[in-house]
Amino acid sequence: MIPHPRMKPKFVIPLEDNGEQVMQRLDMLLKSDLCPAMGQVLKEHAYVALPRDRRSFLSPYLNLSVRENRAGEKILVGRFSPHPHVWTGFMATYGAIGFAGLGGLVYGWAQTLIGQPGTLMWAFPVSLALIAFVWGAAVIGQGLSADEMYLLRRVVDRAAGTFDDSSNPASRPGNGSS
């Protein structure tokens, strides 16, 4: 089953040891010259991203935090998102389109109340179509950056001790990697 596209996808890793040790390993890994990512670790929070020279407009950022679940067990919660400026731009676009559509709907309704044709009511369905288009662009961007998301997740899995290369299609038997 293919997972449905989500805004800012997230994952949860149950931790066998305490979160401080995982964050210390992540910090050491990020400071290593061999690490394909960069980032910053602050106590129980961290962010991981691609180095600036490999980053593009669509490149994801991975925000991490150590939390306790309801059973009192430590978990590592990761959430992928675009660069904060890109995310803010998308939200501002949604807001502007939604505001224009709602304004057109209200103005068109007011026109019909005074006996004029409510032609601006068309702004509402047009705004819904534009919002769907912007959402589709975000989903396409997420798909185009899937390899980068995999790379960032792999760095975190190595630090958490949960790395399993069998999730990489290139490492499966019969794919030339044996």
Q: Are residues 100 and 66 in the same domain?
A: no
171 domain residue, yes or no: no
Question: Above 50 in pLDDT, residue 178?
Answer: no
175 domain residue, yes or no: no
Q: Are residues 60 and 124 in the same domain?
A: no
Average pLDDT estimate for 85-90: 89
Q: Are residues 54 and 105 in the same domain?
A: no
pLDDT digits (tens, 9 = 90+) for 1-48: 456 666 678 889 998 877 888 999 999 999 998 889 999 999 899 999
pLDDT digits (tens, 9 = 90+) for 57-81: 889 999 999 999 898 889 999 999 8
Q: Are residues 74 and 101 in the same domain?
A: no
SS3 string, the chain, reads: CCCCCCCCCEEEEECCCCHHHHHHHHHHHHHCCCCCCEEEEECCEEEEECCHHHCCCCCEEEEEEEEECCCCCEEEEEEEEECHHHHHHHHHHHHHHHHHHHHHHHHHHHHHHCCCCCHHHHHHHHHHHHHHHHHHHHHHHHHHCHHHHHHHHHHHHHHHCCCCHHHCHHHCCCCCCC
pLDDT at 82: 86
Q: Are residues 154 and 131 in the same domain?
A: no
Q: Which residues contact 114 (CB under 8 A, 6 or more apart)?
A: none
Q: Are residues 29 and 75 in the same domain?
A: yes
Q: Are residues 91 and 126 in the same domain?
A: yes
Cut 0.75: pTM above it: no
5 domain residue, yes or no: no
C-beta contacts of 6-10 below 8 A and 24+ residues apart:
7/138, 8/79, 8/80, 8/81, 8/87, 9/79, 9/80, 9/142, 9/149, 10/77, 10/78, 10/79, 10/80
pLDDT digits (tens, 9 = 90+) for 139-162: 888 888 889 999 999 999 998 887
Q: Are residues 35 and 67 in the same domain?
A: yes
Question: Above 70 in pLDDT, residue 83?
Answer: yes
Q: Are residues 98 and 78 in the same domain?
A: no
pLDDT digits (tens, 9 = 90+) for 94-117: 999 999 999 999 999 999 999 999
Question: Above 60 in pLDDT, residue 176?
Answer: no
Q: Are residues 14 and 51 in the same domain?
A: yes
pLDDT digits (tens, 9 = 90+) for 127-138: 999 999 999 988
Looking at the chain, how many residues does it have?
178
pLDDT at 9: 83
Q: Are residues 77 and 150 in the same domain?
A: yes
- Tell me if 12 sits within 8 A of 77, measured CB to CB: yes
62: domain CATH number is 3.30.310.80
What domain range includes position 107? 87-136
**What total of structural domains would you count in the chain?**
2
Q: Are residues 75 and 105 in the same domain?
A: no
34 domain residue, yes or no: yes
pLDDT at 166: 55
173 domain residue, yes or no: no
178 domain residue, yes or no: no
